[in-house]
């Protein structure tokens, strides 16, 4: 383990502490940006060390869970602090995360993998299991609130909110059981003789635990520094005259950087199965863990929560899932599928700016 992988997460957390104590000056903002980028690379490195020790699909599950838990904490803190002004933050963040993962991350992985290896493969059984759970979870949490009549304005009543939270958590838990126990082979990558990392000796238990601890530190730095930089992002969005939903997109992009970089590296190394595990697992965890946490807080603290998407958001979500069922149907991919997903992602970003 090289020295920078130890120092960068610690430096990121130190910068976070300085920002909390001193406020966000220009110097602190610059240091926070550098610390955030460095912490992303460090998080990916330590996640790969842990993954190499525990094997797939547990390795990708560790990174997806860690990022999602901290992301849920960030969303919850913003909702509690902001009250009614932040009522749509969970919706905007989860929707942005789904579009970033299902179109941006998947698109880049397929394009990079197709460019370097012409054609790649993955276990379609695993991808289909994930999509089968993700579609109803997204519908329950982001689509149906726009059509229910018990409460107005894209909201759920308390009983409806609890039902959606329990159903999402149950689907996520069943998927994890299928992924790690019952049908683990659906998520295992084929041995790739061209990738030297596959055949490298696994790290020791002590090194794996050290990397796990540093992974947590790096992810805290990533999410914390993203929150520190969020006022600057908000000011930039306001100065540009962009819609408020762009703030959620910007924060989601920053928070998902570790998983994105890890997934793209795996696709470049001809380990597309790992990329798919990361992408689909992260999308499921974004709903399956975040919605229950936010729902419980909303019910207990009587916090308003707007979950229902508008017509444009619903259309983009339907388009994403429709295309995903086509591009990922055969288990073999090339750069055309990547280009299709990236065009949808570009349309999502453009229509967020020009709705």
Q: Tens of pLDDT along 146-184?
A: 999 999 889 999 999 999 999 999 999 999 999 888 888
Residue 193's pLDDT is 43
For residues 224-241, average pLDDT: 76
Residue 268's pLDDT is 93
CB neighbour list of residue 271: distance below 8 Å, 6 or more residues apart: 189, 192, 195, 198
Question: Parallel, antiparallel, or unpaired: how do β-strands 332-333 and 120-121 relate?
Answer: antiparallel
Phi and psi angles of residue 277, each rounded to the nearest 5 degrees, phi first = -60, -45
Supply the mean pLDDT for the chain. 85
- pLDDT above 90 covers a percentage of the chain that reads 36
Residue 117's pLDDT is 93
Residue 113's pLDDT is 94
For residues 224 and 14, which has the higher predicted lDDT (pLDDT)?
A: 14
The size of the chain, in residues, is 355
Q: In the chain, what are the domains?
A: 3-353 (1.20.1420.30)
Task: Kindly state the helix (H) or strand (E) to which residue 284 belongs, with its residue range.
Answer: helix 272-288
Task: Kindly state the helix (H) or strand (E) to which residue 120 belongs, with its residue range.
Answer: strand 120-121
> What does the pLDDT look like over 275-289, one tens digit per residue?
998 899 889 988 888
Q: Find how far residue 319's CA is from the centre of its chain.
A: 19
Q: Take residue 324 and report the two structure tokens written for it.
A: 């995903």
Phi and psi angles of residue 103, each rounded to the nearest 5 degrees, phi first = -115, -50
Q: Is the pTM of this model over 0.75?
A: yes
């Amino acid at each position: 383990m090289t020295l920078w992988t130890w120092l960068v997460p610690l430096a990121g957390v130190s910068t976070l502490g300085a920002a909390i104590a001193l406020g966000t000056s220009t110097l602190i903002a610059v240091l926070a940006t550098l610390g955030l980028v460095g912490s992303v690379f460090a998080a990916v490195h330590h996640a790969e060390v842990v993954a190499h020790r525990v094997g797939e699909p547990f390795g990708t599950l560790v990174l997806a869970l860690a990022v999602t838990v901290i992301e849920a904490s960030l969303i919850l803190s913003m909702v509690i602090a902001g009250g009614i002004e932040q009522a749509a933050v969970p919706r905007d963040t989860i929707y942005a995360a789904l579009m970033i993962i299902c179109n941006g991350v998947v698109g880049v992985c397929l394009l990079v993998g197709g460019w370097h290896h012409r054609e790649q493969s993955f276990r379609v059984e695993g991808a289909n299991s994930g999509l089968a759970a993700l579609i109803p979870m997204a519908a329950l949490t982001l689509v149906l609130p726009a059509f229910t009549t018990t409460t107005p304005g894209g909201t759920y009543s308390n009983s409806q909110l609890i039902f959606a939270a329990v159903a999402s958590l149950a689907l996520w838990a069943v998927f994890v059981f299928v992924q790690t126990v019952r049908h683990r082979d659906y998520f295992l990558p084929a041995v790739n003789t061209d990738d030297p990392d596959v055949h490298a000796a696994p790290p020791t238990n002590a090194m794996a635990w050290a990397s796990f601890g540093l992974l947590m530190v790096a992810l805290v730095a990533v999410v914390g520094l993203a929150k520190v930089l969020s006022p600057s992002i908000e000011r930039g969005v306001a100065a540009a005259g962009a819609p408020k939903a762009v703030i959620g997109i910007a924060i989601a992009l920053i928070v998902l950087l570790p998983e994105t970089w890890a997934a793209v590296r795996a696709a470049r190394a001809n380990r597309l199965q790992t990329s798919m595990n990361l992408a689909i697992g992260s999308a499921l965890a974004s709903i399956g863990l975040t919605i229950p946490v936010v729902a419980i807080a909303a019910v207990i603290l009587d916090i308003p929560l707007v979950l229902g998407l508008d017509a444009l958001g619903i259309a983009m979500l339907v388009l994403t899932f429709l295309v995903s069922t086509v591009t990922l149907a055969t288990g073999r991919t090339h750069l055309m599928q990547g280009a299709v997903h990236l065009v949808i992602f570009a349309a999502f970003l453009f229509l967020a700016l020009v709705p």
